[in-house]
Structure 1
Amino acid sequence: MKRMSKIRKICVYCGSSAGADPAWLAAARRLGRLMAEHRIGLVYGGGSNGLMGAVATAVIDHGGEVVGVIPEFLRTKENMFDRATELIVTRDMHERKQIMFDHADAFVALPGGIGTLEELVEQLTWAQLGRHKKPILLADIGGFWQPLIAVLEKMRAAGFIHNGALMNYRVCARIDDVLPTLVAAVAPVSESEKAGDPATVARM
């Protein structure tokens, strides 16, 4: 199957547990399969548990490529995924996030916990500050991200988000809509615009 235009790798943020709704695990598996079928590689946190493990396993099982990026102190705790095409062990979380950013053309947030939220919000922050134009998408399975979307809209209405156009995240309720939405979002953006340089922001 032909690779979808200009999307080579997607960084997926998601929970290291499966969560309470079986639909989230099914969504992770479906996303992994679709990515592999469209020859889009996965960049993710390197664990084999929960939604993280489900999406990575699905990519590998369907012939795709997986880059796992995990800090040394989480190798055991998150049960490092030893089937990954490439495993990168970092010194700390900051290096992990920078490497994940560098490898990815777009970002998808599946349901997850505090770590998932932190990674997602950091990308939204970098986008708002003009450090990159890589598409950011919330996979809103079962309305999981609706409370966050409401908070962001409240911040915008209250005047705390001044560059909302730069933080132009996408939302999909169906996993099958994720890849077409990202391709449509990335098409008008040049390679140099996508690249950005969030490292300076990360050090602020």
Structure 2
Amino acid sequence: MAAVCVFCASSTTLEQRWLDLAADTGRVLAERGYTLVSGGGRVGMMGAVTEGARSAGGNTLGIIPQCLVDLEVADQASGELVVTTDMAARKNTMIDRSDAFLTLPGGLGTLDELFEVWTTATLDVHHKPMVLLDPDGFYDDLLRWLGTLVDQKFVRPAAMEMLLVARTVPEAVDLIEKTLAAGPGGGPSGAASGTASPAEH
């Protein structure tokens, strides 16, 4: 059973539509037979995505640093809960235990996780699919700015091609499935994967 890591916000002040999006993501992943890997929290979108997966009978793996366990936000209902020493170890463990990555709308923590897996992919540390869920153009401005970095030659075009963008949850999961099926070096549209030249940074 392949494992998909979902990066998303843990804020408790979000609009309901974002919680619903996260819950729908967890449900669809579970219905497609994937194990959900999350940041191990039970609040915000992170809590909603795991509840969505469990509501459809999915297996959940939470990975959380001890400092957040101490704040009593750990998802103790996870099928497996891994407690790490710190945030860096958490990200490393999430990368190791996952076969693909799906980034939902989020803030600084979500962006940190996205850029961690993206940068390490450009350096050939892993060759795992990375999909950005961009509903309603949430990430449009970020993607446009990143495009200017390509124009200025701070980032190689091949690095941008590694990140697949979807507008809906089903489309995002379809991209994950197609890219996993293609294996390393391939993708749903023939785009380069982690075998491309490293991005400049």
Q: TM-score interval w.r.t. the shorter chain?
A: 0.7 to 0.9
Letter of the structure 1 residue corresponding to residue 112 of structure 2: E
> Aligned pairs, how many?
186
Q: Does 1:83 align with 2:77?
A: yes
Residue 119 (structure 2) aligned to one of 116, 125, 140? 125
1:116-141 superposed Cα distances (whole Å, 9 cap, x missing partner)? 00010111111112222111111112
Separation in structure 2 between the aligned mates of residue 168 and residue 19 of structure 1, nearest angstrom: 32
Q: Which residue of 2 aligns with 1:173?
A: 167
Q: Which residue of 1 aligns with 2:88?
A: 94
Separation in structure 2 between the aligned mates of residue 52 and residue 77 of structure 1, nearest angstrom: 15
Letter of the structure 1 residue corresponding to residue 76 of structure 2: D
For the 8 Å contact 2:149–2:155, the answer to whether it is kept is yes
Q: Which residue of 1 aligns with 2:99?
A: 105
Residue 62 (structure 1) aligned to one of 56, 60, 77? 56
Letter of the structure 1 residue corresponding to residue 37 of structure 2: V
Separation in structure 1 between the aligned mates of residue 158 and residue 67 of structure 2, nearest angstrom: 36
- Give the root-mean-square deviation of aligned CA atoms: 1.9
- Over 3 Å counting, the alpha-carbon distance change for 1:78 and 1:44 in structure 2 is farther
Unaligned runs of 5+ in 1: 1-6, 197-204
Q: How many angstroms does 1:162 deviate by?
A: 2.5
1:34-83 superposed Cα distances (whole Å, 9 cap, x missing partner)? 11111101111000000000000111121111110000001143611111
Of 19-28 and 33-42, the range deviating more from structure 2: 19-28
Within 5 A, what are the aligned runs for 1:1-204?
8-17=2-11, 20-77=14-71, 79-162=73-156, 164-165=158-159, 168-190=162-184
Identity score, percent: 37
Moved beyond 6 Å, runs of 4+:
none
Q: Normalised by the size of structure 1, how large is the TM-score? A: 0.85
1:99-121 superposed Cα distances (whole Å, 9 cap, x missing partner)? 11111110011111111000101
